[in-house]
Amino acid sequence: MKVFFFPLRKLYIFCMYILECEKMNREAKRIEEIKRKIDIIKNTDLPEEVKEVGILGVLMGADNDRIIRAMVEVASAIETKKAEEEHPIRPMPEDYTEIERVIHEMLIENTGAHILDSGFAYGRHWERNREISDFRKEPVVYVTVWKDGDFTVSISVFHYLTTFLEIDDRARELNKMLDEFLKKNPDLSYFAVAEEFARQLEDYGFKVCWAFNTYNGESLLSQGLQGIFLSFGSEDYPNYVILQIHNGCDIRGGYTRPRVFKIIDFEEMIIADKEIYAHCDCTNVHSDDCGYHWYSVEGEGFPEYWKPRPKKPNARRWEYKLVCEKCGKDVEFSVRWQ
């Protein structure tokens, strides 16, 4: 028994020694990897608060994806605070109507400045909107004509919404309910809140019609809209909407807090964001599909005698206008309800 026992014991000790060495080797490699990751983070140009979050994540053993997400969120929060300071809110006109005031508030709502969106290059809607003191004075139609004759047209989302929406007593009550629902569900996204709130409204005589995002269809609006159409009572068409405005840069994010509105004329509303008119003194054309096709009494097609002309000397390539070669008048654009 002694001859058998001692070699087995030595073998056991040797194996434990090998295992302990392997363990120490793995631990040394882990420590080396931690140092390497920390050095990478320290050598970046990121703000110190972001670096601290990254280093803490490394020390806690979090996976790389979780660390990066945490750093991105902190960096985005810092950028959002900076953007807020650089774009302060201006005083609102005192003679706004109720619907004008609410839409104005939505258009200047800070919906964030995520470091992974394109806002650094192009700016965000809410930042640009804060430069506007009175949206009523903004054009109903924005037109940019290029030197080569190409042009873009968009319809002011402010004028569109204040034309087709209003706030009645029912909408006011629903907005109070929605605000309470938001407070009770802080972890839900705004759209998830809108969806769940819409479902609960079925107990109050509402019917959920459908959700929408204008980005997924044809629309000339200057900003995207997202929401849920509702019908109340015996109406066949939606007569209320839970609405969000896209205030960011990339369409995937940057939507305002949802609000409820009464729809004045649904049939006109769903047509008006796609229909555009253009005219000079001698010619009138219109399009009902966002400018893809144009029609006039002469038939189909955009007038070839509407030519680009510079608005001023040394005009840049986007500082042009369309001028009719027949009557000599500038071409003007308008919308369905004007």
pLDDT at 83 over 70: yes
Q: Contact, 302 vs 322, CB < 8 A?
A: no
pLDDT at 134: 97
Is residue 129 situated within a structural domain? Answer: no
Q: Give the Cα separation of 255 and 246 in Å (integer).
A: 4
* Residue 66, H or E segment: helix 64-86
Residue 228 near residue 300 (C-beta atoms within 8 A): no
More confidently predicted of 44 and 257: 257
> Quick one: tokens of 13?
């000790």
And the tokens for 318? 């986007």
Q: What pLDDT is stored for residue 171 in this prediction? A: 97
Which has the minimum average pLDDT: 20-24, 36-40, 247-251, 279-283?
Answer: 20-24
Ranking 120-129, 178-187, 196-205, 273-282 by mean pLDDT, the lowest is: 120-129
Is residue 187 in some structural domain? Answer: yes
- Mean of pLDDT values over 257-281: 97
Instruction: Answer yes or no: is pLDDT of 3 > 70.
Output: no
Q: What pLDDT shows up at residue 1? A: 46
Give me the pLDDT at residue 114, please. 83
In a domain, 199, yes or no: yes
pLDDT (0 to 100) of residue 310: 97
Tell whether the model's pLDDT for residue 37 goes beyond 90: no
Please tell me whether residues 327 and 226 are part of one structural domain.
no
Gap between the Cα atoms of 45 and 71, Å rounded: 13
- Res. 180: pLDDT tops 90: yes
CA distance 41 to 70: 13
Q: Quote the distance between the C-alpha of residue 164 and its chain's center.
A: 21
Identify the pLDDT of residue 172: 98
How does pLDDT run across 290-328, given as a tens digit for each residue?
Answer: 999 999 988 899 999 999 999 999 999 999 999 999 999
Task: Among 235, 257, 272, give the residue marking a domain's end.
Answer: 272
Task: Please say if the pLDDT value at position 164 is more than 90.
Answer: yes
> What whole-number distance in Å separates Cα of residue 228 and Cα of residue 211?
4
* Residue 256 burial (10 A CB sphere; 0-12, 13-18, 19+): buried
111 in a domain, yes or no? Answer: no
Out of 223, 253, 272, pick the residue that ends a domain.
Answer: 272
Quick one: 77 and 64 in the same domain? Answer: yes
Q: Are residues 266 and 286 in the same domain?
A: no
> 189 and 224: one domain?
yes
- Is the per-residue pLDDT at 163 higher than 60? yes
Assess if residue 100 is contained within a domain.
no
At position 129, the amino acid (one-letter code) is N
Q: Assess whether 202 and 307 both reside in one domain.
A: no
Locus of tokens 């629902």: 181
Same domain, 267 and 156: yes
Residues 252 and 317 in one domain: no
Alpha carbon distance 315, 158 (integer Å): 29
The answer to whether residue 162 scores a pLDDT higher than 60 is: yes
What is the reported pLDDT for 62? 82
The residue among 223 and 233 whose pLDDT is bigger is 223
| Residues 264 and 308 occupy one common structural domain | no
Residues 151 and 262 in one domain: yes
pLDDT for 313 equals 95
- pLDDT reported for residue 17: 67
pLDDT at 275: 97
Q: What is the average pLDDT score of the chain?
A: 90
Q: Name the most confidently modeled range: 47-51, 72-76, 115-119, 174-178.
A: 174-178
Q: Specify if 128 maps to a domain.
A: no
- Same domain membership, residue 226 and residue 310: no
How large is the average pLDDT for residues 164-181? 97
Q: Is residue 318 part of a domain?
A: yes
What is the extent of the structural domain holding 208?
141-272
**What is the number of domains present in the chain?**
3
The residue-averaged pLDDT of 142-158 equals 97
Residues 48 and 162 in one domain: no
Q: Is the pLDDT assigned to residue 12 strictly greater than 70?
A: no
Is the domain of 148 the same as that of 213?
yes
The better pLDDT of the pair 163, 51 is held by: 163
Domain for residue 135, yes or no? Answer: no
